[in-house]
Amino acid sequence: MKLYYSPGACSLASHIVLAESGADYSIEKADIRAKKTESGADFTAISPRGAVPVLVLDDGEVLTEGVAIMQFVADSVTPGVLPAAGTLARARLQEALNFVSTEVHKTYSPFFRGIEGEAKAAQVALLETRLKLVEERLADGRSYLLGEQFTPADAYLFTVTNWSKGIGHDLSAFPKLEAMRARVAARPAVQAAMKAEGLLK
C-alpha cells in the first residue's frame, strides 16, 4: 500500500493508523497546491480531487477519504481490532469519526482561508463549542474518545486539533482534551508517523 500525504494535514490520521496497524506500506508527499507528488507525478492523475489522503492498494485500487481509509486499514490489516460491523460499538466509532470530520475538521478549515476580525472571532467561538463537546465526552475519565482503547477517531481528533497551534488557538481551556492529546502523542506509532512527515525530530 502507498499513502499520499501532505505533512500535518488530515492525512496524518491515516498515516498514524497505518503505523499502528503494522502494515507494509510506503508514503509519498503530495503538494496539494501544485498538484504534484514528490517524485514529480501529476497528483490529479492519482486522485482527481487533488486532496489527501489517498491510499493506493497493492492491486492498484485507489481509496480516498480518511474515514474510509482508516477503517479499511484497520479491518484489513488487523481484523478484530475495531468493533465488528453491525454492532453498536462500531456505530459509535463511525459516530465519532463523522463528528470529527464534519464538526471539528470542517470548523478548522475556514482559518486556512485567512478569515479575520468578527468572522474569525465567530469561527473561534464555533470551534470552542465543538471542542467543549469533546471535553464533556472525556469528563468521565476515559483515556480516549470511545473508552480505554485507542481508535482511528483518536488519531483523527489528534491530527485536526494539532492545527490549533498554527492558527494561534489556545487549547488550555480543554484540559481533558489536552491530556488525551498527550496520550496520543506519546504512542510510538504516532511519533513514527510524525517523524516520517518531518513534524518531529
For the chain, which residues make up each domain, given as ranges? Answer: 2-80+189-196, 88-187
CATH of 2-80+189-196, one of 3.40.640.10, 3.40.30.10, 3.40.710.10, 3.40.50.970: 3.40.30.10
Q: What is the pLDDT of residue 112?
A: 93
Three-class DSSP category at 78: coil
Q: What is the pLDDT of residue 201?
A: 82
Length of the chain: 201
User: Looking at the domain 88-187, which fold is it?
Assistant: Glutathione S-transferase Yfyf (Class Pi); Chain A, domain 2 (1.20.1050)
The answer for residues whose C-beta is within 8 angstroms of residue 71's C-beta and 6 or more apart is 82, 93, 94, 97, 152
First to last CA, the chain: 25
pLDDT in single tens digits along all 201 residues of the chain: 999 999 999 999 999 999 999 999 999 999 999 999 999 999 999 999 999 999 999 999 999 999 999 999 999 999 999 999 999 999 999 999 999 999 999 999 999 998 999 999 999 999 999 999 999 999 999 999 999 999 999 999 999 999 999 999 999 999 999 999 999 999 999 999 999 999 998
The answer to whether 126 and 132 have CB atoms below 8 angstroms apart is no
